[in-house]
Amino acid sequence: MKKLIVASTSTVHGSGYLEYLLPTLKIFFNEVKELLFIPYARPSGISYDEYTAIVTKAFSTININVKGIHEFENPKEAIQNAEGIFTGGGNTFELVNQLYKNDVLSDLKAAVDNGTPYLGTSAGSNICGVNMMNTNDMPIVYPPSFKTLEFIPFNINAHYLDPIKGSKHMGETRETRIKEFHVFNDVPVLGLREGSWLEVSGDTIILKGEHSARFFQQNKEPIELESGSEVNS
């Protein structure tokens, strides 16, 4: 049975890396002694080793060891043998590009579908949806496909921002961008605000955290889902 935490962000304002999620992760990964980390998204362009060190420090506070997938000679076997998996945030285009380049997308899907607990934040959450087409990231590389893992039957727009009343900013809002997506695509989209996450157990998807989330469907008005609500597409 699938077990996932799909979080909008790794860090909320005023707290350390993953700090707001650690009490939940301690329970979620309670049977995991070593976590496999996928650093392919490279936030701010940092190296895999630098990124893994940040994650290692955070998980050491709940007594979980971390090893980066790049440290293994065979990344496919690393995923197949993992006790738990974490894919961090950064650039979704590069993350997906590397998953295809290393030929591990199908292995990752199989592992999680078979019950390996999975944590995603930001880009690592974007890939849990039907495709990566609602990322906010710049297309710095061109992955072979936008198709991702389909752990959930909708897409994630991480770091979702509401329009700011009175703002003189002339660029498009997130809601406008998602409406543009729905002119050509019928995949629902969940605008997941920072500090919120989804807990997935099998086919049950529950919104957690302090904030509501905004759910968009083609040819329908968006709706607000309160924390604690089940998300159905």
Instruction: Find, among 161, 87, 182, the residue nearest to 125 by Cα.
Output: 87
Residue 65: phi, psi to the nearest 5? -80, 155
Cα–Cα distance for residue pair 41/53, rounded to 1 Å: 15
Task: Annotate 61-73 with DSSP letters as a single string.
Answer: TTT-EEEEGGGSS
* Choice among 8, 10, 107, 137 that is catalytic: 137
* Choice among 159, 182, 212, 229 that is catalytic: 159
Residue 159 bears catalytic tag: yes
| Adjacent-strand bridge partners of 204 | 201
* Choice among 10, 70, 107, 122 that is catalytic: 122
Residue 233 bears catalytic tag: no
Cα–Cα distance for residue pair 118/124, rounded to 1 Å: 10
Cα–Cα distance for residue pair 100/116, rounded to 1 Å: 20
Catalytic residues: 122, 137, 159
